Structure 1
Amino acid sequence: MRFQRPRSALEQLPAIPMKPESVKILLSAAEYRQELLKQISKAKHRIYLCSLYLQHDEAGAQVLAALYAAKAARPALDIALLVDWHRAQRGLIGEAKQVGKMMGNAAWYQEQSALHQGCIPIYGIPVQTSELFGVLHLKGFVIDDGVIYSGASINNVYLHQQEKYRHDRYLLIQNATLANTMVDFIRRHLLCSAAVHRLDRIDPPGTRSIRAEIRDFRANLKKARYSFDADIKQNTDVLSVSPLVGVGKNNPLNRVICQLLAASKKQITICTPYFNFPLAVTREINRALKRGVKVDVIVGDKAANDFYIPPDQPFKVIAALPYLYEANLRRFAKSHQSEIKHQQLNLHLWKDGDNTYHLKGMWIDEDYALMTGNNLNPRAFRLDLENALLIHDPQHQLQNQRNAELVSIMQHTSVINHYRQLEKVRDYPHEVRKLLARLSSVRLDRLAYRVL
């Protein structure tokens, strides 16, 4: 889709005004964990946590214990956890299934709920009838009138509970209108659905028995929007935020992402952990390069991908994904070698020891910043329920924080000066080469790019 007047479209987005002192960007997973636990302990009237998963590990247990402690100290606290229905009921990838026994995190939720008289509901949100074709990728925690927004889920590596961390972005906004808007969306469009059930209760219904409800739920989600009384449009000189949501092809969030790229005049900076842009995004990046816009893409090295398995460890099929993404990046770099040579296109590879990279989002010129859990890949554009916060900063009041975040990200990157710096498929481990060849021979690699 070609956007003839992208700036005009962006300027018409309803927006919530903010004060610059109400916005804070954190720079590390450890700092994020500390802030989350502090905010939970201080909560006075509500806590709504929406995450792909809450893992049964030390960090997950610490967060859940903090929630139970907050509820015990203030019984009137309105607390709700929302996680993906499918992800919560399966074990880790490669874990053997035990017949007749509840798998995954849901079993732990039920054990903890029994110990605490079911005082905190944990809802499973089934965005699709199968995890392969859509999950809850809605991000954002609301604690009282504050919003904590990150692409991170809740487990040891995302919260840097032990030695390793998975780097993400972390945004804090104190704004009652935004907080109310996000909670209202959860209540009206998620918790009221007949497809949504509590996972902390014994014997939740099987997915097969609620397939019709899930289909209706997904159809309704395609029409769901954040709703608030907009005091301003984005064409004013006021610092503001626009919450966005979307699921399925050509949804409002997808359109805004493409409009942002189309509206760029000087600079585009993109973060994505999995280099696999949708065709619409690739087209807008190509058009921006032709307009003379400078483009920086910050992507994780294949060894910093959360699916990466070192060659000296037993091979699993999922371990081929980082190589698929790198092959995609090499093709992109090769087709744009001229722009790379003239430093109009800069490809940055992030790597910090054994840690992993999970950053998403965009910065457009000096006016717009998009915080999102959207991976900017075909799956995010077609299958998962995604959201984002678009910050419009016409007076550059957040410039110092923005620069500090980018410096923090860039300190662990190296620049690709030539596409040949990236390995060819023939250089990959034998098991990876064999699998990629098999996928390519039956064109399953194309399907993999769409759903993984």
Structure 2
Amino acid sequence: MNRPLPSPRNLARRLLSLGRGRGLDLSGQASFAVPAQAITTLAGPTEFRDTLLSLIAQARRRIVLVALYLQDDDAGREVIEALHAARKAHPDLSVEVYVDWHRARRGLIGKGDSEGNAAMYRDYAQRLGEGVVIRGVPVQNRELFGVLHLKGFIIDDAVLYSGASLNDVYLARHGRYRLDRYHLIRHQALADSMVGYVDAQFRGRDAVPRLDRLPLPRTRDLQEPIRRLRQSLQQAQYEGISEAPGDGDVAVIPLAGFGRNDNALNETLLALLRGAQRRVILLTPYFNLPRQVRVVIGHLLRRGCQLDIMVGDKTANDFYIPPEQPFSRIGLLPYLYEANLRRFAHDHQGAIDSGQLNLWLWRDGDNTYHLKGLLVDGEFAVLTGNNLNPRAWALDLENGLLLRDPSRRLLPQHEAEWQALRRHATRLAHYRDLPGVRSYPPEVRKLLRRMRRMRLDRLVNRLL
């Protein structure tokens, strides 16, 4: 029988004990003892793509893929064709894909009206059969106010975890890539727990329709089912019988988070930051930290903890529009993030000068940056799709894997990942090294002035 799981608030209290020197109490949690050798950090998007396709081809019992989207492009079609091929080779294989409902039914931003990726799903189902079930998850009634940002590909007893979605740039097709983090964990109980969450929250719910067949319901007709889904998600956590870690094991704790209150993932992230003793590495693609995180970072710096923050250069942002291309309003976002970073650097210039705070800007040609997560004191790591921004904090459905590694068996992998990232990163020596608003393109300066005059900049930051 499963042990009762504590409330998110109780989980936060236990994690807060890190800062008081009592250690991390995992009793009663869905915590899985994973041998360190069963956890692998993949080197990059090409290895991630190859591993995903290999796992799909080898699958015999189940495939459950959860991502923001599965795109109608070469890489997306390669994945969906691999899924159909696996199902054809093994008719008893269960294949389910869950993507965001709103994102699947629209075209790309700025590309005009479209039936979205759902049209591709229906086309494959009509040609190859309905053995690959693709469902859309509407976390909110409108995409602006929240999306499915849950992550994890479970294939038999393997968990392939990344913040990446499935398209050409995430899977490094056609010479460009969007860099994320990629981890493969082979452990049956963890895989069962992650599948159990998806089954309990999504499978069979009226709010989660199939996208691979017609007719599709209207979102307005799903309002009451969506309300019930939100209520369920606010209470939901991963379940499972806890396992006591042995020598050489890593405790892996899957956590979900949805909404501002009693959000286990948010509280865990804050608790880990508060309890840090020596060093924190924080990764985020969009520098727009929630207020609570900024406050804790201030405390960390005041008590002498070393802090490394890596973000993407504005040109490595997926919304960046080069000057030679026609500008649209979505191209304002990278400049907003850069302005946030410049203000943060200004406020903490003393810590930058002393080397206590290191701000790293990642850039590699025309490739883009999408990393997120925490590394704390060499013992704790958080793998997550959470962007560490106000939207993730309050609107989107997020999850993450907390890894506790007291023996530091994974430290060589973490260090190798960090060194690889820094090969394409530059340390910011002074806030003035970042351009000011006066140097921005005229269209950007005009939009920023208008937003500040109407006091919309804070609202926009909360929705980003």
Q: Same fold (TM over 0.5)?
A: yes
* Match among 127, 131, 145 for residue 119 of structure 1: 131
Please say if 1:430 is aligned against 2:442.
Answer: yes
RMSD: 1.6
The DSSP-based 3-state class of the residue aligned with 1:24 is: strand
Distance (whole Å) between structure 1 residues aligned to residue 81 and residue 373 of structure 2:
31
Structure 1 position 237, deviation (Å) = 7.7
Structure 1 residues 333 and 170: alpha-carbon distance in aligned structure 2, compared to 1, 3 A threshold: same
Structure 1 residues 195 and 289: alpha-carbon distance in aligned structure 2, compared to 1, 3 A threshold: same
Residue 446 of structure 1 is matched in structure 2 by 458
The alignment's TM-score, normalised by the length of structure 2, stands at 0.94
Please say if 1:244 is aligned against 2:255.
Answer: yes
What does 1:96-111 correspond to in 2, within 5 Å? 96-97=112-113, 103-111=115-123
1:400-449 CA-to-partner distances (Å, cap 9, x unmatched) read 11111111111100000100000101110000110111111111111111
Structure 1 position 117, deviation (Å) = 2.1
Please say if 1:404 is aligned against 2:416.
Answer: yes
Residue 174 of structure 2 is matched in structure 1 by 162
Is the Cα–Cα contact under 8 Å of residues 284 and 387 in structure 2 kept in the other structure?
yes
Is the Cα–Cα contact under 8 Å of residues 16 and 177 in structure 1 kept in the other structure?
yes
The DSSP-based 3-state class of the residue aligned with 2:409 is: coil
Distance (whole Å) between structure 2 residues aligned to residue 25 and residue 419 of structure 1:
33
Percent of aligned pairs with the same amino acid: 48
The DSSP-based 3-state class of the residue aligned with 1:232 is: coil
What does 1:62-77 correspond to in 2, within 5 Å? 62-77=78-93
What does 1:198-347 correspond to in 2, within 5 Å? 198-232=210-244, 238-250=249-261, 251-347=263-359
1:189-226 CA-to-partner distances (Å, cap 9, x unmatched) read 11132211000011210101111111111111000110
Is the Cα–Cα contact under 8 Å of residues 257 and 266 in structure 2 kept in the other structure?
yes
Residue 12 of structure 1 is matched in structure 2 by 26
1:80-128 CA-to-partner distances (Å, cap 9, x unmatched) read 0000000000011012226xxxx11011111111112211110000000
The alignment's TM-score, normalised by the length of structure 1, stands at 0.96
1:6-41 CA-to-partner distances (Å, cap 9, x unmatched) read 455843362210111101001210111011101100
Which one-letter code corresponds to 1:12 in the other structure?
L
Residue 78 of structure 1 is matched in structure 2 by 94
* Match among 374, 378, 389 for residue 390 of structure 2: 378
Structure 1 residues 210 and 9: alpha-carbon distance in aligned structure 2, compared to 1, 3 A threshold: farther
The DSSP-based 3-state class of the residue aligned with 2:113 is: coil
Residue 152 of structure 1 is matched in structure 2 by 164
Please say if 1:53 is aligned against 2:69.
Answer: yes
Distance (whole Å) between structure 1 residues aligned to residue 23 and residue 258 of structure 2:
20
Q: Which moved more, 1:377-386 or 1:115-124?
A: 115-124
Distance (whole Å) between structure 2 residues aligned to residue 214 and residue 328 of structure 1:
34
Please say if 1:90 is aligned against 2:106.
Answer: yes
Distance (whole Å) between structure 1 residues aligned to residue 24 and residue 165 of structure 2:
29
Residue 361 of structure 1 is matched in structure 2 by 373
Structure 1 residues 399 and 233: alpha-carbon distance in aligned structure 2, compared to 1, 3 A threshold: closer
Q: Which runs of 5+ in 1 are unaligned?
A: none
Is the Cα–Cα contact under 8 Å of residues 277 and 377 in structure 1 kept in the other structure?
yes
Distance (whole Å) between structure 2 residues aligned to residue 24 and residue 294 of structure 1:
26
Which one-letter code corresponds to 1:82 in the other structure?
Y
Distance (whole Å) between structure 2 residues aligned to residue 93 and residue 69 of structure 1:
31
Aligned pairs, number: 447
What does 1:31-50 correspond to in 2, within 5 Å? 31-50=47-66
Is the Cα–Cα contact under 8 Å of residues 10 and 256 in structure 1 kept in the other structure?
no
Is the Cα–Cα contact under 8 Å of residues 334 and 419 in structure 1 kept in the other structure?
yes
